[in-house]
Amino acid sequence: MIRLNDITSRILSYHPAADTNLIEKAYVYSAKVHKGQVRLSGEPYLSHPLEVAGILANMKMDEVTIVSGLLHDTVEDTLAELKDIEYLFGKEVATIVDGVTKISKIHFLSKEEQQAENIRKMILAMSTDIRVILVKLADRLHNMQTLGFQPSEKQEVIAGETLDIYAPLAGRMGIHWLKSNLEDLSLFYLEPKIYGDIRLGIAQRQEGQAKFIKEIKEILAKRLDEAGIKATIKGRNKHFFSIYRKMMEQDL
């Protein structure tokens, strides 16, 4: 489990003037109201808001967003009230926590793309502060990372919702690493055999692909240098879901 010190160290590395006292205060409050609650993994419930805050710190968010991450489940899952959050942590934090709570109450009932699009639009319209969506996406990422502790029927429902609603939202926000992670985790639960086959195929070809990418990068770097163009060249392998989608398009 990530520690509070890890989170404060991360935020201070990119935001030296951050109010870490507010973060520590939120941690203490979250620990107090979630006391006695346990995740299906057997870990204290506090591990979840801590991980969410850690993800937000990795995204280099401000302290208000990280505090909101620590408190995002307090109104929904404890006896805490929104007025308490506003009194203790301010209007901004309360607005974000309220927004995340409202989004959590939306349930996706159909596989139809139009309904999925309507829900995505609803979430965007409800979120007057973009940080609401960022906290919700971090929350969903950690829930997907720990989805294995849920019953199998619930795994499929949550994975489907993630693939249809939250991964596209991450893409619209331009957070492509998060979109890829959510898609790959969804594929793991929705199509475990295909996921395993893709993983095995990638492992078998990884060495050759890495060598090929390295050679192409060197050729491009040389050509750009000769043309007097300064550039950073990055190569990456396709993520699992991207390969799966290509397979479906080609009917493989």
Amino acid letter, residue 57: A
Spatial contact of 18 and 12, defined as CB atoms under 8 Å apart: yes
Distances (CA, A) of 215 to 54, 193, 218: 36, 33, 5
The verdict on whether 249 is a catalytic residue reads no
Q: How many CB atoms lie within 10 A of CB 15?
A: 16
| Residue among 129, 79, 84 nearest 102 (CA) | 129
Spatial contact of 90 and 22, defined as CB atoms under 8 Å apart: no
CA dihedral 182, 27, 10, 169 (to 10 degrees): 20
Contacts of 129 (CB under 8 A, 6+ apart): 92, 95, 96, 99
Choice among 77, 86, 92, 156 that is catalytic: 77
Choice among 6, 76, 117, 215 that is catalytic: 76
In this structure, the chain runs to a length of 252
The verdict on whether 117 is a catalytic residue reads no
Q: Which residues are catalytic?
A: 76-77
